Amino acid sequence: MIDYRLDEEYEDLRATVRDFATSEVAPVIGEFYEREEFPYEIVRRMGEMGLFGLPFPEAYGGMGGDYFALCLTLEELARVDSSVAITLEAGVSLGAMPLYRFGTEEQKQRWLPELCAGRALGAFGLTEPGGGSDASATRTTATLDGGEWVINGSKSFITNSGTDITSIITATAVTGQKPDGRKEISAIIVPSGTPGLTVQPKYSKVGWNASDTHGLTFDDCRVPEENLLGERGRGYAQFLSILDEGRVAIAALSVGLAQGCVDECLRYVAEREAFGHKIGEYQAIQFKIADMEMRTHTARLAYYQAAAKMLRGERFKKEAAIAKLAASNAAMDNARDATQIFGGYGFMNEYPVGRFYRDAKILEVGEGTSEVQRMLIARELGVTN
C-alpha cells in the first residue's frame, strides 16, 4: 500500500518550524533583506532548536534525525524566506555533511558539535571563477610541504564563507595527477582565519540578500596534512555524492518558495478588489493559482520520492535531478505568476512575492543548473555515457 501521510514525528517538526517561520522570521526578514544583512539572531535561534543538527547522530551533538527531516524544515522556512533556508541548507548539506560522511573520527569530534549546534557554520569550496558547472575543471592546487598542505587558487559564490561564525571551509584542490593523466582532486579542511585565506568582499546579488556569499582566495595557505578530508584523490567523487543529496534539499527549498507564492496569492485575492469584485472571483486568476498549486504539489512528490530512495540506501541520482529540475521550475514559474497576480504591488519589496521573485532564479542555477540536471537524467536513462 502506498501512503504519503507523514509520521507524527515529521508532522510535529513541520508544525514547529512553520510556527517559527511565521512568528519569528516573517516579521523581520524583509528588513534584513533590504539591508543585505546576515540574520545572526535568527540563525542562533535555529541552532537552539536543533535545526543544524537534524540529520546527524547525537554523539556529535546532532538530533538523531534524517535527511528528510532537514528537507521538511527547508520547505517550511522557504515558504517565508529563502535566505534563511539556504543558510541552513548550505550549513548542513554542504558545510557539515562532507565532514560527517568522509571525515576521520578526530575531525568529526573537533568540528561537528559546534556545526550541529549552529554556533558555527561550514562552507563548501567547490566552484571556481572559470569552472562554473564544470566542477572537474579545478585549478586550485594543494602541495605537501613539510607535513602541511600549501593551497593556492580561488573559489567563487561560496555560501556561509564569510560570516562571523564561519569555522571551516572544505575546499577541493588538485593534489597531483592520476596514472591516466587526469587531475587528482582532493578535499582539504581550511579553518577560518588561516593565514593565506582571504575572504573577498560580499557579492552584490539579485536575490538571497540576507544570506552570506563570498569569493575566496588561497595564497600559500598552509594547513596540517591531517586536514585532508576523506581519501586523497577522491575529493571530486566525494563532492559529487554530496551534491546528489544537496539537490534533494534544494528541491525541498524550491517547493517551499513555490508554496509561499500560493499562500501569498490566496491571501491577496481574498482581499483585493477590481471592477467591483474580489479578484479571486475572476477565472483568469483562479486558473493561475490552480496551476501554481499543481506545480507545487507535483514537485513536492518528486522530492519526497528522491528522499525516500536516499533513506533506503538505493541509487537516487536520477530522482534527485528530476526533483531539483521540477521544483526549481515550479518556484520560478510560481514566482512569476504571483508577481503578475499582485500587479504593481508584486514589484514592490514590501510584499514577500517581490522577494520570492528575486530569490527564485538562482534555484535554476545553484547546485547544478537545469541543463546539468537534464544531462544527469539522460545519462541515467542510458541516452548518453
Q: What is the per-residue pLDDT across 122-151, written as a single tens digit (0 to 9) for each? A: 999 999 987 666 666 789 999 999 999 999
pLDDT digits (tens, 9 = 90+) for 245-302: 999 999 999 999 999 999 999 999 999 888 888 889 889 999 999 999 999 999 999 9
In the chain, CATH 1.10.540.10 sits at 8-120
pLDDT attached to residue 131: 66
Mean pLDDT of the chain: 94
β-bridge partners, 213: 159
DSSP string, 303-362: HHHHHHHHHTT---HHHHHHHHHHHHHHHHHHHHHHHHHHGGGGGSTTSHHHHHHHHHGG
Angle 82-89/352-360 helices, nearest 10 degrees? 40
In the chain, CATH 1.20.140.10 sits at 237-380
CA 103 – CA 111 distance, rounded (Å): 10
Residues identified as active-site: 367
Q: 237-380 maps to which CATH number?
A: 1.20.140.10
Kindly give, in sequence order, each residue whose CB lies less than 8 Å from that of residue 289, ignoring residues fewer than 6 positions away.
Answer: 262, 265, 266, 269, 280, 341
pLDDT attached to residue 5: 84
Q: How many CA atoms lie within 13 A of 123 on its CB side?
A: 29
Query: DSSP label at 120?
Result: S
Q: 123-234 maps to which CATH number?
A: 2.40.110.10
Contact 38, 210 (CB under 8 A): yes
Count of Cβ atoms closer than 10 Å to residue 135 Cβ: 18
Mean pLDDT of 305-334: 97
pLDDT attached to residue 107: 97
In the chain, CATH 2.40.110.10 sits at 123-234
CA 363 – CA 373 distance, rounded (Å): 12
Mean pLDDT of 13-34: 97
Mean pLDDT of 77-99: 97
CA 171 – CA 5 distance, rounded (Å): 39
pLDDT attached to residue 352: 94
Task: Look up cell 577560518; give the residue.
Answer: 192
Q: Which CATH class is domain 8-120?
A: mainly alpha
Query: DSSP label at 52?
Result: G
pLDDT attached to residue 22: 97
pTM of the predicted structure, to 2 decimals: 0.95
Give Rg (Cα) of the chain: 21
Q: Is the pLDDT of residue 224 over 60?
A: yes
